[in-house]
Amino acid sequence: MMRPAPTPSFEHRIKAQAYGHGFDLVGIAPLGVAETAAAFDAWLERGFAGDMHYLERRADVRRDSRLPVPGATCAIVVALDYGGRQSPGPVARYARGDDYHDLMLDRLRALHAWIESEVGRPVPGKAYVDTGPILERDLARRAGLGWFGKNANLINPGMGSYFFIGSLLLALELTPDAPFETDHCGRCTRCLDACPTQAFVAPGVLDAQRCISYLTIELRGDIPVELRPLLGSFVYGCDVCQEVCPWNRKFARELSEPAFVPREALAGKDARALALELLTMSQAEFSAAFKSSPMKRAKLPGLKRNSSVVLG
């Protein structure tokens, strides 16, 4: 006589639903005092955030992930791959298609609605994707999704690091997954050695003021003269510390999310062609060509500045 198959747990069904929404990794983390809060505070005090003063806001919420949602006890943490097998180029891989924030938030909110329908009542909760005072890497490691690499990225042993992280904080009792306790970087220092601007002051500690991603995206003033020659061909962002990582060289995936396919304004363009095009663009042309693009964060004047440096 065959035994009936065991009934899947609610946690298992939640993960299946998350995968069904297109996420590539899913884990459940307990909320509470963030393990990395003290290190993040020290990082801010050392001035490594540069002009990103918004990172200092709501420090109490950042230090304790239970505070954004009253009664919240857990987070469903997800990852969405953006295609590390794409060729290098003047724009970082994550920014070549549509903005990931809206895409992931919509999917997390849909997951939240499904959970409420399953439990038959409203469940207080809030979705975050990279824009709230949440130390998402901390939650992702708690949820078992990976470890902190020496390049400060979260690395998953089966997927590398070319993925976005999102979290859904919930006032709901769920069994958490085991945290990711081990480090698999070993003695490797390829990411530290390859950084064009030597932005890492120690393994896992990035001085954003020297990082090409910061210089081409977040910095609103002039790029320091001494760093300009080091930008090379990067018009927006930089992937070097990920490109050289052995975990990405082995496990990075082909692009599979249609929303992240490079837009027409970028496809096939080298740094010179893109820089020349951006320098001659009007605001109306830019708004049309880069609608829903992460590159709008740098604004057209910032991209013209970057283009001038690259051409120079």
- pLDDT tens digits, one per residue of 112-163: 999 999 999 999 999 999 988 999 999 999 999 999 999 999 999 999 999 9
pLDDT of 19 above 60: yes
Which tens digits make up the pLDDT trace of 60-115? Answer: 999 999 999 999 999 999 999 999 999 999 999 999 999 999 999 999 999 999 99
Label residue 2 by pLDDT band (50, 70, 90): low
Residues in contact with 46: Cβ distance below 8 Å, sequence separation at least 6, in sequence order: none
What is the per-residue pLDDT for 131?
87
d(CA 220, CA 81): 29
| Spatial separation of the C-alpha atoms in residues 273 and 142, rounded to whole Å | 43
DSSP sequence for 93-105: GGGSSS-HHHHHH
Could you give the CA distance from residue 299 to residue 293 in angstroms, rounded to a whole number? 11
Per-residue pLDDT, 7:
77
C-alpha 124/C-alpha 68 separation (Å) is 10
pLDDT at 6 over 80: no
> What's 236's DSSP letter?
B
The share of the chain scoring above pLDDT 90, in percent, equals 96
Residue 279 has pLDDT above 90, yes or no: yes
**Which 3 state secondary structure label does DSSP give 91?**
strand
Q: Is 130 a catalytic residue?
A: yes
| Angle at which helices 271-280 and 299-311 cross, to 10° | 130
pLDDT confidence bin for 8, thresholds 50/70/90: confident
Q: For 155-202, what is each residue's pLDDT tens digit?
A: 999 999 999 999 999 999 999 999 999 999 999 999 999 999 999 999
Catalytic-role residue among 51, 60, 130, 207: 130
Over residues 13-39, the mean pLDDT reads: 97
What residues contact residue 298 under an 8 Å CB cut-off, 6+ apart?
216, 217, 236, 306
What pTM does this model have? 0.95
pLDDT score recorded for residue 4:
60
Average pLDDT, the chain: 96
pLDDT average, residue stretch 294-300? 97
- Residue 3 predicted with pLDDT over 80: no
